Chains A and B, each alone.
Chain A
Amino acid sequence: MKRRLDLLITLFILLLLWQLAAWWVNRPILPEPRTVFLAFLRETRDDLPFHFAASLWRVLASTALAIATAAPAGLLLGQSQRLNRLFSPLIYLLYPIPKVVFVPLVLLFLGLGDAPKILIIYLILFFQVLVLVRDQAAALRPELLLSVRSLGAGRRALFRFVYLPASLPAILTALRQSVGTAVAVLYVAELYATQRGLGYYIYINGSTFFDYPAMYVGILAMGLLGVGLYTGVDYLEKRLCPWK
């Protein structure tokens, strides 16, 4: 409750600063909050939901794909020293490369449509989840594993009863850390070769139609998308890992 109040106050202060800045700049490129909110209401009845849905779908699809592939791979590497030794140089080299630079490349190979956007976000999330899950699985106390093994648990049971629940928080931490990056990259990816999505929406309204309030509506929507995903992960963490 206290936290919610703090958030509201902070939000109010941000809006206030925006208002002050708008007065001070006093030009169409920085409309007042009121103007943008009215535009927002107008646009929600127009094609904003369509673009929002396109972006949301891309983020969700790539996230689901990343978890479905990176989590098992991370678990596998985390519990097998041999596999980890084999792959860790590769991961070490690839992990720090900013995946955004692959946007033009992926577009060249995959062309139009959702696939290249999803792939790019997927690549970012994949490495984040992989590394965190791997480290979490590798850091499990050997005695915990021994005591479960001593109960006659085989490899499959160890996965189900130990590795999986133990790495759930790592997956969620990885998601929390990469939601921001994912949305940022989504924006960049949507600047190219598409006519759907908030990135496109912001770009087209800002630099082709010069409809600045609509551009801000797009920015606002993108912000909401980010915050929404972030609180979503937060909620999942509380639901799935109450023991953390």
Chain B
Amino acid sequence: MAKSPPEVIPTSKAKATETEEARVAIEVRNLSVTFRNGNGGLRAIQGISFCIREREFVCVLGPSGSGKSTLLRVLAGLLTPTQGEVYFYGEPLKEPRREIGLVFQKANLMPWRTALQNIVLPLELQNVPKAEARRRAMELIELVGLHGFEDTLPRDLSGGMAQRVAIARALVHDPQVLLLDEPFGGLDALTRERMGDELLRIWQARRKTVVMVTHSIPEAIYLSDRVLVFTPRPGRLRLDLPIYLPRPRTEEIRYSPAFGELARRLRAEIG
């Protein structure tokens, strides 16, 4: 695979010079979610607003119970907010859309389908002709490095491999936005770092907008253009931190002073 030349990363200014300002893919306005629970309701998210630009890689960090997963479900159109709006390319988001792909911490594969059959599913739902669907799914198998495992059942895949299948499934119908809810949370540290690199490679190859929830500060810094930090329940936006580290990023960057400084800063904010 050809290496893309090192590029400086789209701070909004740098980008503005080369094209126009990147379009806003997702806009969240004054979003609140309250779950009914008998005594007045559980406030998961309160008054959050932010924008995510096209092709941006944004990580959402925050302590457990700060409504990160809830946010992702709202962005996926699976959960109707109690208050506020979400816009997808300027259109109000009311229900799940094919342009938005979603991956959970558990791969959530269908145990009765092989890896390839799992990846094909979104295309099947869209009635894409079989041969075409298979061809596109095979492309994804290659992209996520699962060549030779296309006919394997999920029970015979390792955690990392299953998660690759889940990512491939979320990408096969070519959505514009990819939502990831702690996608590597169930993996061991080494696999996790490798999967992060894979994800960056895929992101660069396919030019998607990515919103990813994570617990890991280094992971968030390593991957994103921007990190959103949430407060404990009810989740509010505490910090919106741009990550001006050059891309493509490699292992060394983890040991750079800039990286350490960002990590310290985020650590302090999460508290």
Number of residues of chain A lying within 8 A (CB) of chain B: 20
A162 touches B96 (CB 8 A): no
Shortest beta-carbon distance from A71 to chain B in Å: 16
Is B155 located at the chain interface by the 8 A CB criterion? Answer: yes
Q: How far is the CA of A141 from the CA of B100 in the complex (A)?
A: 21
Judge whether A151 and B121 touch: CB under 8 Å: yes
Q: Which of B56-103 contact A (CB under 8 A)?
A: 73, 76-78, 96-98, 100-103
A143 to B69, CA, bound (A): 12
Residue B198 interfacial (CB < 8 Å): no
B110 interfacial by beta-carbon distance below 8 Å: yes
Chain A contacts with B in 154-191, Cβ cutoff 8 A:
157, 161-162, 165-166, 168
Residue of B78, B101, B112, B124 with highest tally of chain A CB at under 10 A:
B112
Q: Which residues of B contact A143 (CB under 8 A)?
A: 104, 106, 108
Contact B110 A165 (CB under 8 A): yes
* Cβ–Cβ < 8 Å partners of A108 in chain B: none
> Which of chain A's residues have a CB closer than 8 A to the CB of B126?
152
Q: Name the residue of chain B whose CB is nearest to the CB of A151.
A: B122
The dominant DSSP class at the A interface is helix
Q: Does A146 contact B (CB under 8 A)?
A: yes
Contact of A146 among B73, B122, B124, B125 (CB under 8 A): B73
A150 touches B121 (CB 8 A): no
Q: Which residues of A, 111-163, contact B by the 8 Å Cβ criterion?
A: 141, 143-144, 146-153, 157, 161-162
The verdict on A243 contacting B96 (CB below 8 Å), with A143-B104, A146-B102 known, is no
| Complex contact B96–A147 (CB within 8 A) | no
| B260 interface residue per 8 A CB criterion | no
Contact A141 B125, beta carbon cutoff 8 Å: no
In the complex the two chains form, is A150's CB within 8 Å of B112's CB?
no
Which residues 218-241 of A sit at the B interface, judged by CB distance below 8 A?
Answer: 241
List the A side residues contacting B108 at CB < 8 Å: 141, 143-144, 146-147
B226 at the interface (CB under 8 A from A): no
Q: Which of A151, A241, A243 contacts B98 (CB 8 A)?
A: A151
A147 touches B112 (CB 8 A): no
Is the beta-carbon distance between A165 and B104 smaller than 8 angstroms?
A: no
* CB-defined contacts of A166 to chain B, threshold 8 Å: 110, 112
Confirm or deny: B111 has a beta carbon within 8 angstroms of a beta carbon on chain A. yes
Which of A146, A147, A157 is most buried by chain B, counting CB atoms within 10 A of its CB? A147
Is the Cβ of B125 less than 8 Å from the Cβ of A153?
A: yes
Partner of B100, one of A150, A161, A242: A150
| CB-based nearest A residue for B172 | A151
Given the complex of chains A and B, what is the CA–CA distance between A151 and B174 in angstroms?
A: 11
Task: Give B156's nearest chain A residue, CB to CB.
Answer: A243
Distance of A39 Cα from B112 Cα, bound (Å): 47
**Which residue among A144, A168, A241 has the maximum number of chain B CB atoms within 10 Å of its CB?**
A144
* Residues 170-199 of chain B, each 1 if its beta carbon lies under 8 Å from chain A, else 0: 000100000000000000000000000000
Q: How far is the CA of A146 from the CA of B74 in the complex (A)?
A: 12
Interface residues of A (CB under 8 A from B): 141, 143-144, 146-153, 157, 161-162, 165-166, 168, 241-243
Q: Can you list 11 pairs linking A and B with CB atoms under 8 Å apart? A: A141-B106, A143-B106, A143-B108, A144-B110, A146-B102, A146-B104, A151-B173, A166-B112, A243-B111, A243-B154, A243-B155
Q: Which residues on B are within 8 Å of A, measured CB to CB?
A: 73, 76-78, 96-98, 100-104, 106, 108, 110-113, 121-122, 124-126, 153-155, 166, 173
